[in-house]
Structure 1
Amino acid sequence: MRLALLAMTVSCLSIGTQAFELAPIQDKSVESLEIQLSTKEAEYESFMNSLSSLNTQVANETDKLGLLRSQGAELQTARKQALLNMNEQYEAMVDNPDQDIAQAQNAYRQAIQNQKQNKDDIKASVTLLADLKQKLANANIDRFTLANAREALREEIRIARVKRLQQEFEQEATLEATQIVSCDAQETLKQCIMRSNRLAKQKASKQFVDSLFAGATESNVISQNKNDSAAQVRLLNHKVVSGEFSGQGNYSTTITVELEGSLPNTEACKLLDLSARYCTYQQEHLSTAAVDENAGNEISFNDDSVLYELTIRSDQYDDEVFIDGVSYGSTKLSVMLASGAHEVVITKPGYLDHQENIRLNKNMTIKAELAKASINFANGEKIQDILPGDELGPELIGVPAGRFQMGDMQGAGLSNEKPARDEQILKSFAIGQNQVTVGDFKRFVKDTHYVTEAESGNGCAAFVDGEPEYNSVLNWRNPGFKQTDDHPVVCVSDKDSKAYLAWLSKQTERKYRLPNETEWEYVARAGSAENYWWGDDIGNGKANCAYCGSKWSNISTSPVGSFRANKLGLFDIVGNVWELTNGNKVVARGGAWNFAPKLARTSVRLELSPGFRSNYVGFRALREN
């Protein structure tokens, strides 16, 4: 897009503009945050060195224990042989009472002592190894805590950079500009004067924009995108200081112009090469300013009180239409919208999304043809088992067998996400459309009087000053924020989740369990090889995670199904709560309401210690066929 109010190129003109300076913006928040990030990076690097040392200790002690057990087998054989030798000496003493058996006795006694020492060493090694593994499990939790704090600072820095740039542009200045034009023989004196004034205002506006770019803290970054910028200047007022004709048919005018800069919509993010989500929370409802050269370069804005009719049709039934992130139901659909830019997405499980970015300036019709997804998900067959008393179990989505790429494929992941590899799901299964809710868990507790580990122990963990800290009053009924039966259940441990699924299996006579990590990532990706099922950028308002633009971000969980489902029909597969998986280690996947977007990527693995529970960890049910 062209810059608003650029001066026209005019030949044979002599133009002068008075020099001016803009007041600098004193904003050290970015600098302060960068210092904090540098400190956190150093802390993270030091921690990772300690974690590496701890992993080495675990490996060394595991090798030592294996060696001790191997030596134990050898010592057992040696003891048996020493006993045999001693018995032979006893038998020889029957025939020869002078036979000396002391050496054989001492050898047997030493063999017994060696075996006892070996058993003591094995016991000590087992104890030490268990302690080291517990420390390692706790350290893995701490690693994610540090990683989350680091990512949070990065998010805050990007937000602060956007705010700083907007402040640097949203300034007012008064300029004095001098313009000399040669009056055309075909124009009247009045027309010549108006042209001179208009060119003076354009020149002042252009220089004002240039100075905003040059004076910005990140001038080198944003200047690269200047030519495609929609940075605006609004003329607040102008006054003609002087104007006179010369004898050569030239007209000279000097005017003062009051100007105001502006970065509309997501312009600051475009200039800084950041995701639009860092700007949308500050969007104003004013449309992009346009230059009307025939009206003396005055600024005009779209009137958002003007509405137009948008009609949407698709070739599929039971689809869902999202306009600017809000669901409007299924097609055929007609809705009145304000003039301006809108994002329209039509989605249906098993089909690729149809997405259009439109600028609505008249009545418009969209006709969409939805294409089948590249992976056949058995048409997303919906399954829901009936519990005793005609109550309904969790809503499930059928998933077929298939192959996919698992792990970090974008190169931005942690070590435990690598390497990316080809995996195969051999048997179809059904998985919860939503995370298990408070209402689901409540039915289980009512029927069994089950007491969770949080209720019987020291409570549930919550972030306090960026660290998980157990609070004895927190549990699944009271996680530290408001919730309803439609929110995902939290403050449950791996043991609690498996107790619920065992009960569900008994009630339905079906096999329910946690998905393993391969199954979880298979359905989470839904055919995508990117960071999130919709792309490589978290976007704005697409999931409940920290700095993700929803009203629940960094505050609480959100009701399940508050955001768009992926192509399989699964809700909240990104964010809301970490989801426990089934395996040798306790690992959670998917990110949470208080974790940074980078940690909600599909391949991220949060390793937890057994029994860990917090107000940001929940689970999703899987049913085997």
Structure 2
Amino acid sequence: MTNRVIQTFIFALSPFFLQATAGELSIPAAHATDNPVSVLSQKIKGVQRQQTILAEEIIVYNKKQRTLLSQQEKAATAVLDAEKNRKKAQKQLDNQFKALLNDPSADITATKNRYQQAWQSLQDSQKEKQLIAHSITEQTAIIEGSKKRQASISHEIAQLKELKKGARVKRIEKELTFNDSVDVSHTVTCNLKMTLAECAEQGKILTMQKAVRVFKAKLIDSLTESELAKVHADDVSFNIHVMNSQTLKNEFNGSSNFVTQIQSEMRSHPSNIAACQLLELKESYCVEPKSKSVSIATDNNYTSSKKWLSVTIRSNVYGDRVVVDGVDYGSTPMDVMLPSGPHQFKISKKGYQTYQRELTIDRDQTVWTELYEQKRSDGWQTTAVTP
């Protein structure tokens, strides 16, 4: 079922459903509107309890049906036996009537009574068989009706679960539009070859990246279903924008340690399918959002309208060195946060050809590099083996 259909269900059923649900569960309608996921969860539990009770009743009905079928078999056997006894008694009575023609004084009372008893036993057995057959018919109707109600309840539960999925998506979509201020500090050890300006620039870049990571963590922790969201957070594009930022501290602390403290206001604009990815739901449950015009306040190069994106860097060798925009990040594999736009990537290792190029980052992505060994003096070249 697509999200559009689910939306239609929610809007069409909202007035009646919320009123009925609030009444059944003793929940005020206002509270039901505030937390539809909770109301739907309770409604599902209530219907599931009905389903359990009905399933237990069907077990009892089926047990009674089996008992009746067993009684029917016994009744059928009793009818056959009674019919045999009646025929035997009738034959004896017929013989007594023939003997009576030769001896009018003969007493046939005992034989007549045995026949009457046999006949009555047959009538009783047939009546019992008919009553059991009638009970079986009634019991069959009860079981069929219960199974129809069971199917109806299962369908109702399935619909409620679909509505709950839609409500969960709506809730997390609202929660994902997150705005908060973060205050972080970061210390870098400046290379002796770096100028003061270069060291300060590197400190700002790394501190802003840390601020973005802190904001992302706070966003995920704030979600109602944060535990589930954490499992899939690395696969989701949160599109974090820096709305405003100011540098609180930018100074040396010791001989080569440079401390940068930044306070930034950030806002997330997640991708269209972020909610579904975090909740492990099909993308069809997510609705295309309307385009939003966002006004961005800036005070330096790090508070532009560009969004910050997650970039995963991998290579086919160990012990390499990754430099992005002149900042040394260490060895792969690694994940870095970069603002959208062009960036200079350099991945190198002694004895291997250096990977160096400009890449435009416009979404969360993985940069995979393959380094090859440099040609030896004898002209041979060996291809690096992926570990």
Fold agreement, TM-score > 0.5 = yes
Task: Name the CA distance, whole Å, in 2 between partners of 1:248 and 1:289.
Answer: 32
1:145 matched to 2:164 = no
SS at match of 2:340: strand
SS at match of 1:97: coil
Task: Name the CA distance, whole Å, in 1 between partners of 2:308 and 2:204.
Answer: 20
Q: 1:132 to 1:204 in 2, by over 3 A?
A: same
Once the two structures are superposed, what CA deviation does each residue of 1:265-293 show, in whole Å capped at 9, x if it has no partner? 44444444x2324644457899x963586
Paired residue type of 1:169: L
2:207 aligned residue: 200
SS at match of 1:135: helix
> In the TM superposition, what is the alpha-carbon distance from 1:140 to its structure 2 partner?
1.5
1:99 aligned residue: 106
Unaligned runs of 5+ in 2: 1-32, 293-306, 312-323, 327-336, 343-361, 367-387
Q: How does 1:178-327 map to 2 (within 5 A)?
A: 178-226=185-233, 228-246=234-252, 248=255, 251-272=258-279, 274-277=280-283, 279-281=285-287, 290=309, 294=325, 297-299=338-340
Task: Name the CA distance, whole Å, in 1 between partners of 2:42 and 2:54.
Answer: 18
* Residue 162 (structure 2) aligned to one of 155, 164, 168: 155
> In the TM superposition, what is the alpha-carbon distance from 1:182 to its structure 2 partner?
4.7
SS at match of 2:107: coil
Once the two structures are superposed, what CA deviation does each residue of 1:145-196 show, in whole Å capped at 9, x if it has no partner? 1111222333333333344333333211122333444554544544433322
SS at match of 2:281: coil
Q: 1:223 to 1:290 in 2, by over 3 A?
A: closer
Is the contact between residue 37 and residue 154 of structure 1 (CA under 8 Å) also seen in structure 2?
yes
Among the aligned pairs, what percent are the same residue?
A: 18
Paired residue type of 2:206: L
2:16 aligned residue: none
2:70 aligned residue: 63
Q: How does 1:2-81 map to 2 (within 5 A)?
A: 28-81=35-88
Q: 1:183 to 1:284 in 2, by over 3 A?
A: farther
Once the two structures are superposed, what CA deviation does each residue of 1:389-439 show, in whole Å capped at 9, x if it has no partner? xxxxxxxxxxxxxxxxxxxxxxxxxxxxxxxxxxxxxxxxxxxxxxxxxxx
Q: 1:192 to 1:289 in 2, by over 3 A?
A: closer
Task: Name the CA distance, whole Å, in 1 between partners of 2:266 and 2:162.
Answer: 32
Is the contact between residue 250 and residue 261 of structure 2 (CA under 8 Å) also seen in structure 1?
no
Task: Name the CA distance, whole Å, in 1 between partners of 2:278 and 2:363.
Answer: 21
Which structure has the larger Rg?
A: 2
> In the TM superposition, what is the alpha-carbon distance from 1:197 to its structure 2 partner?
2.2
SS at match of 1:232: coil
1:89 matched to 2:96 = yes
- How many residue pairs end up in the alignment? 277
> In the TM superposition, what is the alpha-carbon distance from 1:44 to its structure 2 partner?
0.8
Task: Name the CA distance, whole Å, in 1 between partners of 2:308 and 2:93.
Answer: 104
Is the contact between residue 240 and residue 255 of structure 1 (CA under 8 Å) also seen in structure 2?
yes
Is the contact between residue 100 and residue 106 of structure 2 (CA under 8 Å) also seen in structure 1?
yes
Q: CA RMSD in A?
A: 3.6
Paired residue type of 1:47: L
2:295 aligned residue: none
1:126 aligned residue: 133
Q: 1:69 to 1:250 in 2, by over 3 A?
A: closer
Q: 1:291 to 1:128 in 2, by over 3 A?
A: closer
Task: Name the CA distance, whole Å, in 1 between partners of 2:122 and 2:363.
Answer: 84
Q: 1:285 to 1:133 in 2, by over 3 A?
A: farther
Q: How does 1:597-612 map to 2 (within 5 A)?
A: none
> In the TM superposition, what is the alpha-carbon distance from 1:49 to its structure 2 partner?
0.8
Task: Name the CA distance, whole Å, in 2 between partners of 1:100 and 1:265.
Answer: 103
Paired residue type of 2:340: I
Paired residue type of 1:112: W
Paired residue type of 1:139: S
TM-score, normalised via structure 1 length: 0.39
Once the two structures are superposed, what CA deviation does each residue of 1:13-35 show, in whole Å capped at 9, x if it has no partner? xxxxxxxxxxxxx9643333222
1:167 aligned residue: 174
TM-score, normalised via structure 2 length: 0.61
Task: Name the CA distance, whole Å, in 2 between partners of 1:248 and 1:27.
Answer: 56
Is the contact between residue 86 and residue 104 of structure 1 (CA under 8 Å) also seen in structure 2?
yes
> In the TM superposition, what is the alpha-carbon distance from 1:243 to its structure 2 partner?
4.6
> In the TM superposition, what is the alpha-carbon distance from 1:206 to its structure 2 partner?
0.7
Task: Name the CA distance, whole Å, in 1 between partners of 2:73 and 2:277.
Answer: 58
